[in-house]
Amino acid sequence: MTVVKANASSPRGPIPDDSARYCHPATTPTRLKQRRCISRLRSSSPPPSPSLPPSPLSPTRHTTDKVRCLGNFRRRGDQHHRRRRRHHSDLNPQQLATMASLTADPISPATQQLPLRTGAAHPTPQSAPTHFFCTGFGPFRSVPVNPTEQLMRALPSSIRDDSTLSGSAVLASTSVINTAAESVRHELDRLYARCNDFTPASRCVLLHFGVNFGARSFQLEAMARNEATFTFPDERGFSPILQPIDPTFGEITQTRRTPLPLEPLAASLRKAGYNVGVSCDAGRFVCNWLYSHSLARAVKHNAIALFVHVPPVSVAPIELQVQFAKDLMRCIASPSIVQQC
């Protein structure tokens, strides 16, 4: 390397010969020693031995140079740590605590106690309540006292005294309908007009009750047929035979179904101790007439309709029927049933 010397008469005096080493960081004394060690390691190799390999305990030039070079690196590392320890000894306890917190393990218990930004940090709003419009029938022909009329009279006071239904299931109204096809139309028009008063997030369920004197259990009706065949006239003398309930819907063989999952609903009620089943025949009298019209209106008003046949009082007393109606409302308003509708 060519060394360019300054004039000896310069104010700073003559420049020594080895000053050229300091013209670049790669030519500093420390870096030059490191480069020499690395070049010796690359150029040297273990002496070949055709007979026996050298013993790992016998020193060679290769291993000696390697140990010497590593020893130089370790000594410089020890000097660095000693300088750091001297620097830390000059810090006060508060500064040392701050450095310790900055260099702490990121999976320390203190870090795990921090609040996580998950969905749980933002609670979801409670689901809107389910509003129930319950209906029953009055007396007809040879039935002077209809048990569903007694059920509608006793249900409001029983629900007011039951705090378990507060919030999820709301009894909007109870009504007793005259057992006549014309009365059914007027009452359904009034009830479904009230459904429009609620917000779209709220659910409206029209829960209709009728009596089946031949039943031995509660029956959840799955469908309504488009057929009106009254074996005897209703309370207004109307007695159709094989007539379609809704001529615009099609023939008398057409059916409408409720969107409620009746099998899971019946299973939940059976677990509660009730004798309940699912039926696919609501008859051909005013019960089926009401159910068909209610299902058709429910689609237009974004509501749900369900018809329930109750057994006579001799099989299920009024107290049992009232408790069954409340548990049925509780099951319909449960999240598991709501998600399946």
Residue 111 lies in a domain: no
* Domains identified in the chain, total number: 1
Residue 238: DSSP 8-state: -
How many other β-carbons are positioned within 10 Å of the β-carbon of residue 338?
A: 14
pLDDT in tens, 228-251: 999 999 999 999 999 999 999 999
Determine the Cα angle at 256 with ends 333 and 130, to 5°.
Answer: 15
> What pTM was computed for the model?
0.63
3-state secondary structure of 136: strand
The reported pLDDT for the residue numbered 85 is 56
What would the DSSP string read from start to end of 86-114?
A: HHHHTS-HHHHHHHHHHTS-TTSHHHHTS
* pLDDT band for position 289 (cuts 50, 70, 90): very high
Contact yes or no for 171/242 (Cβ under 8 A): no
pLDDT recorded at residue 264: 95
Q: What is the pLDDT of residue 108?
A: 37
Q: In the prediction, which pLDDT does 339 show?
A: 74
Q: Would you say 327 and 269 are in contact if contact means Cβ atoms under 8 Å apart?
A: yes
- Average of per-residue pLDDT across 220-232: 95
Q: Which of 5-14, 44-53, 242-251 is most confident? A: 242-251
Residue 213 lies in a domain: yes
**Angle in degrees, 0-180, between the axes of helices 181-195 and 286-300, rounded to the nearest 10:** 30
Residue 115: its pLDDT value, please?
A: 34
Please report whether residue 90 resides in a domain: no
Nearest to 312 by CA among 178, 210, 179: 210
| C-alpha–C-alpha distance, residues 92 and 43, integer Å | 50
Rounded Cα distance between 191 and 132, Å, is 10
Q: How confident is the model at residue 29 (pLDDT cuts 50, 70, 90)?
A: low
pLDDT confidence of residue 137: 97
pLDDT tens readout for residues 155-164: 999 998 877 7
Closest CA to 326 of 181, 158, 206: 158
Q: Is residue 323 part of a domain?
A: yes
Asked whether residue 294 is domain-assigned, the answer is yes
User: Poorest-confidence range of 5-9, 278-282, 323-327, 337-341?
Assistant: 5-9
pLDDT of residue 90: 57
Q: Is residue 78 part of a domain?
A: no
Domain hosting 328: range is 130-338
86-123 pLDDT per residue, tens: 555 555 666 656 555 544 444 333 333 333 333 333 33
Asked if the structure places residue 76 within a domain, the reply is: no
| Dist. CA 175–CA 133, nearest whole Å | 8
pLDDT attached to residue 142: 78
Please check whether residue 282 lies inside any domain of the structure.
Answer: yes
Q: What is the CATH number of the domain that holds 311?
A: 3.40.630.20
Q: What is the mean pLDDT of the chain?
A: 77
* Sign of the alpha-carbon dihedral angle for 233, 234, 240, 243: negative
pLDDT computed for residue 22 by the predictor: 45
